[in-house]
Amino acid sequence: MAASVAALFRMAGAGWVLAREGAFTLVDPEELPSGPRMAARIARALARRGVTEEARSERLTAALNRLGPSYIKLGQFLATRPDLVGREGADALGRLRDEIDPFPEEAARAAVERALGRPVDELFSSFSPPVAAASIAQVHKAEVTDDLGTRTVAVKVLRPGIRQRFRRDLDTFYEGARLVERVDPASRRLRPVAVVDTLARSVTIEMDLRLEAAALSEMAEASADDPGFRVPVVEWDRTARDVLTLEWIDGIKLSDIAALRAAGHDLVVLARRLMQAFLRQALRDGFFHADMHQGNLFVDEAGDIVAVDYGIMGRLDRDQRRFLAEILFGFIRRDYRRIAEVHFEAGYVPGEHSVDDFAQALRAIGEPIHGQRASEISMARLLSLLFEVTEIFDMQTRPELLLVQKTMVVVEGVARTLDPDFDMWASAEPVVREWIERYLGPSGQLELAAEGAGAIGRLATELPRLAERAGRLSAEIDRMSEHGLRLDPETVAGIGRSEAHASRWGRVALWVIAVVAVLAGLKWLS
């Protein structure tokens, strides 16, 4: 319980920093229930004065950077969840980039030696000071000399103590999520605690650099024959949990438009290549780079786009890919009935709703775009509107689809900086049509039939074991129905004491936080 109280105090401290920097001005109190509405109004009153509306995203960035790496990751993660933070908040968080000071080179060298079991000077013929720093790790430029000659590599080193920091801050996030669910029962549809679970899993994977190396390797295999896109090569013998060594990319960042033009690259071609590379990853492979902002994208001398930083990846199974492809293809063909049917077939919209009513809502989204020039139509915006409409029809939050939509927003934005007249539909149509023909055409149906036959064969081998388990379960149910399920009096009393104790301390902690917030507000107002 002491740990919970400490987490609540840390949450109050973080709330104070966010309130002072104006983060809660991104929240409309009128859209909240009465309890959270009052808290949001108080938080908005605590914001610093004299800051323009245009500076709100910068203030939010400043607040999260002040709170540290865990909160930066939380902000980046919430940028994918407009259903939780609102469209304006998600847009502001989407512009959040790590602005963390690097840690000393000596600490990085010590971490490399611990991870790889050899001195840095034996592993690398040169090792530079940090050239880039982020919330999880920082990058050093180094050289490797061996029988193959000398080559330049990038060495990514995990921040010392970062795992312990995240574990502590995750406790705070969990307390906050549970508090939201208690104060606002309507929020349970958005599953705040499950959101923190997803963040915890994502960060745990991101902090094991061997898994990032595996993502690089998997992506390299999947995209080996893709035109105009490639993945850096991993140096596996110089990679461990806390260290990742890979090919150094000598290229031009996609954000440097002037340099790209000066080097003679075709910006229109680059924009199309980028979008098609992302759609191939999402639809064909079901495994996509989920952090494709301009800082992670380079163009090499050959004109190929090279993506770095594979810490955040997204996955879609076959059904999810079919769902996404049919939605995009349905809007291209203006087949709103089919888009609605796909939602129901996937189980995303509850069956008590009408397919025709849902198709009517989809038409309200799709028809206005067909009167516009193709270059003015944003597919990312289309998907955003789609997910807003699905809330009316009780569609449960689908984090994996939101991650695709968020990544598409970023990729489409990058493409439009390269080509202001970028035609999203013309770029997407060949990839989507190829997927539809490949997986929903005759060959795809045969493949599904073969997979089904294999599944039936595996099920047949499991039948004896399943029958035995079913028999045991049936006997247990008969015993319970005859005698009932009973708890001894000591167990019941213990449960009661535990619940009362937890409830009492929870109330105490909430009152303490409220008093601290009021006193801080009075001090500020004075």
So which residues are the catalytic ones? Answer: 291
Any bridge partners for residue 252, and if so which? 299
- Whole-number Å distance between alpha carbons of 473 and 482: 14
Q: 355-365 burial, b for 16+ CB within 10 Å, e for fewer?
A: eeebbebbeeb
Amino acid at site 514: A
Q: How far is CA 244 from the centre of its chain?
A: 21
CA angle, residues 82, 283, 198, in degrees to nearest 5: 40
H or E stretch at 132 = strand 126-133
- The interaxial angle of helices 424-440 and 318-333, nearest 10 deg, is 130
- Whole-number Å distance between alpha carbons of 214 and 217: 5
Helix (H, G, I), strand (E, B) or coil at 137: strand
User: Which of 442, 429, 398 is closest to 330 using CA atoms?
Assistant: 429
DSSP calls for 447-503: HHHHHHHHHHHHHHHHHHHHHHHHHHHHHHHHHHHHH-----HHHHHHHHHHHHHHH
Report whether 286 contacts 318 (CB < 8 A): yes
Count of alpha carbons within 13 angstroms of residue 183, beta-carbon side: 19
User: Which of 363, 70, 430 is closest to 226 using CA atoms?
Assistant: 430
Query: Where are any strands of DSSP class E within 134-283?
Result: 137-146, 149-158, 229-230, 243-247, 252-253
Residue with the two structure tokens 């709103």 = 336
- Whole-number Å distance between alpha carbons of 265 and 288: 25
